[in-house]
Amino acid sequence: MRIRPRQQLLDLWRAVLAYSYRDEKWIWGGRDGANSISDAEQLLCLLYPATEIDAFALHQPDEMATDAKTALAPFGAQTRIGGALVGLLADYLERYTGADGQPIFAAGSYLHAVDESPPSDAQLALEVVDSYSMSLSLCIASLRFLRGFYRFVGGEVRMEARRLHESIPLVIDKVSTRLTAAMAGLVRSFVIHTPDPTTTAGQAILHMINQSRAPADDALARLSARLEQLRVRAANEVELGQPTEIDIADDQRLFECGWSWGIVHTAEPIDFLPGHVGAATGLAEPRPHLYFTAVALDGIADLSSQRIRELDLLTDEQRQLADALTLRVELTRNYWSTVARFGSGRWPVEDIPWRTSDGAESDYFSLAVSAVLIQDLVYRDSTEDLARTVAVFDQLARRGRITSRLTSGDPAATLHYPGVRMRLAGSENLSGAPQLEWYVPDFVTMMLKGCLQAARLRTDIDTRDQLMALAESAMDHIDSRVLRDGPALGLWDAPGCPLDATNPVSRGPSWFVTERVMECLVAAYDTFSTPPLAPKSMVSRAVELLSEAEHLLNQEKLEVEGDDLSPRQVAVSRIQQSLDRARRVLNERPGTASSLATQALTQLDELAYARHDATR
């Protein structure tokens, strides 16, 4: 299936409103019920494209694109769309703000008990990294929209506009409060894990890292040397919210970093944030989870974009938290990029499936490590080892039945539905309750997003074609899971279609999956907006054609008198314009330059033949 991000995003907007906005009333929740994460995902399906893509911007109704207005027509006229979004944000914030004014990040119906018993109210109130990350993305998108829309309504004279001009600052304050709390939650959920090599966790890490099966001491020494600068930076700079007893610089211990499933029980309070998230005692084990690490990296990427700094959206406290999160992102990205490619032979990430430090194994973990590696390459604008990374993606696509056929009872089906099970170690310490678990059904969307991000790199044509072929196969899989009937028509997820007909019929849309499909379409829009590849071979060929064309053009000019206004002179002028254009786009679009040069050569040959024919 061809990826058409603009049209598909507009179709998604129409489907979201058809399901969620009925009789001028917004309906929260979907297949998994309503909670702080699902409702944020539902809102992000509208707000994220509107703030990430200029063509979808909604904060200036007079400049709104016609197709965007049409897609959002259920909200009313273009001047009412912004007001409707402000109302939805205010409603969301009211639903997830406690009586004490503190934001609520409860995961609610997304949580399940391992013994299949219904989670207690205290368990449903647990906060996870997903909630912090999704709220961070929602708050950043909301601030960008609200600031722009506030300026617009300030110049309006209608009564409705005046009411909005008074209410928007109140909404902005609540959004900012939630953003601060979400950032603090992410800071306190970050963990640096330093197990002893002789422990079970240490042995699991060495099993993945030591692909050459060298003596453990030798492997540990080589790994410590590779990670020395990372250790020193972590020891000297990671302070906010971190326990002081961890000896990060001890090179006789193993080392991994990332995000646990929630605030870790060893996290220190953040002194300048006296609220619940800044001081609450956590439950999560102090060990990074690959899924929650990937989720945190995605959310913090929205925070660290250049637009955020240019718009000056953050307070002084938020800038301090943003700096702390940026440092943690850099450490995490560098760590997993290093260990994924450690050694001189087979990479650890090529040894599928990846085994985590708690002993769990899954193709999903291999994909998560590969996705972080892609993020690191994109951040550094490097194509180093990209071809080998794409080969890992290709193998995972086959194993995940994205590019190969699913068989009856295939265990790969569980990657997509109900998803990979994550045990939330530490959650059982809540009043002696059973341990909780979390299901992650985003294997295909994680692969699609990684392929689209990697396709932005200035790689060779073969690698780019392989990435786009994988992306289109992933899009085929996603398209086969779209809901085809009922009120949720056009949304996701219908996992029984490409997988197993015995899967239960969806009771509504999964905002978890739908929001991630939306992120993929936004990533596709960004990728397609970049210039095409310009291989040196194509540039060289274009230069050769231009050189011949310009030489022949100079010869033709010798035959044209200075004040000659004949058709020949007009034709020569047009050829000159084409060659000038070819020179300007030579390095960015060598194929276009070659085409222009070829056309010019054809026209010059016609002029030369006409002159020769006239003198016979």
Residues 418-476: tens digit of each pLDDT: 999 999 999 988 877 789 999 999 999 999 999 999 999 988 889 999 999 999 999 99
In a domain, 534, yes or no: no
| pLDDT higher than threshold 50 for residue 502 | no
Number of helices and strands in the chain (H, E): 22, 9
Same domain? For 522 and 545 the reply is no
In a domain, 289, yes or no: yes
Q: How many whole angstroms separate alpha carbon 534 and alpha carbon 591?
A: 8
Q: How many whole angstroms separate alpha carbon 557 and alpha carbon 263?
A: 75
Do the strands 420-424 and 361-362 form a parallel or antiparallel pair, or are they unpaired?
unpaired
Residues 339-350: tens digit of each pLDDT: 999 988 899 999
Same domain? For 516 and 586 the reply is no
Rg (CA), the chain: 28
Nearest to 84, CA basis, from 61, 100, 116:
61
Residue 554 CB contacts under 8 Å (≥ 6 apart), including other chains: none
Q: Residue 351: exposed, middle, or buried by beta-carbon count in 10 A (0-12, 13-18, 19+)?
A: middle
Q: How many whole angstroms separate alpha carbon 614 and alpha carbon 606?
A: 12
Mapped onto helix, strand or coil, the DSSP state of residue 22 is strand
In a domain, 582, yes or no: yes
Same domain? For 458 and 545 the reply is no
Which of the four pLDDT bands, split at 50, 70 and 90, describes residue 501?
very low
Which of the four pLDDT bands, split at 50, 70 and 90, describes residue 362?
very high
Same domain? For 510 and 584 the reply is no
More confident residue, 534 or 41: 41
Same domain? For 282 and 184 the reply is yes
Same domain? For 485 and 556 the reply is no
Same domain? For 430 and 572 the reply is no
| pLDDT higher than threshold 90 for residue 581 | yes
* Domain final position from 529, 556, 576: 529
Same domain? For 557 and 505 the reply is no
More confident residue, 251 or 423: 423
Domain membership of residue 192 as a residue range? 5-529
Residue 550 CB contacts under 8 Å (≥ 6 apart), including other chains: 579
Omega within 30 of 0 (cis) for the link into 418: yes
In a domain, 403, yes or no: yes
| pLDDT higher than threshold 60 for residue 178 | yes
The confidence score (pLDDT) of residue 249 equals: 74
Same domain? For 278 and 335 the reply is yes
Same domain? For 524 and 544 the reply is no
Q: How many independent structural domains does the chain possess?
A: 2
| pLDDT higher than threshold 90 for residue 587 | no
Same domain? For 194 and 326 the reply is yes
- In the block, which residue shows the tokens 């850099």? 330
Q: What percent of the chain has pLDDT over 70?
A: 94
The whole-number average pLDDT for the span 586-599 is: 91
Omega within 30 of 0 (cis) for the link into 49: no
* Domain final position from 482, 511, 529: 529
* Domain final position from 472, 505, 529: 529
The confidence score (pLDDT) of residue 564 equals: 61
Which of the four pLDDT bands, split at 50, 70 and 90, describes residue 307?
low
Q: How many whole angstroms separate alpha carbon 144 and alpha carbon 47?
A: 10
The confidence score (pLDDT) of residue 565 equals: 67
Residue 506 CB contacts under 8 Å (≥ 6 apart), including other chains: 31, 483, 488, 493, 494, 495, 496
Residue 142 CB contacts under 8 Å (≥ 6 apart), including other chains: 47, 89, 171, 175
Print burial letters for 24-59: b (CB count within 10 Å at least 16), e (below 16).
Answer: eebebbbbbebbbbbbbbbbbbbbbbbbbbeebbbb
In a domain, 139, yes or no: yes
Which of the four pLDDT bands, split at 50, 70 and 90, describes residue 118?
confident
Residues 541-556: tens digit of each pLDDT: 999 999 999 999 888 8
| pLDDT higher than threshold 90 for residue 163 | no
The confidence score (pLDDT) of residue 310 equals: 61
In a domain, 212, yes or no: yes
Same domain? For 515 and 591 the reply is no
The whole-number average pLDDT for the span 19-44 is: 95
Judged by average pLDDT, the poorest of 406-410, 441-445, 483-487, 557-561 is: 557-561
Q: How many whole angstroms separate alpha carbon 214 and alpha carbon 206?
A: 10
Nearest to 463, CA basis, from 395, 385, 403, 530:
385
Task: End-to-end CA distance of the chain: give it in Å, rounded.
Answer: 58
Q: What is the mean pLDDT of the chain?
A: 90
In a domain, 175, yes or no: yes
Could you tell me the pTM of the whole model?
0.91
Which of the four pLDDT bands, split at 50, 70 and 90, describes residue 9?
very high
Mapped onto helix, strand or coil, the DSSP state of residue 394 is helix
Longest dimension (CA), the chain: 104
The confidence score (pLDDT) of residue 304 equals: 74
The whole-number average pLDDT for the span 209-213 is: 91
Which of the four pLDDT bands, split at 50, 70 and 90, describes residue 165?
confident
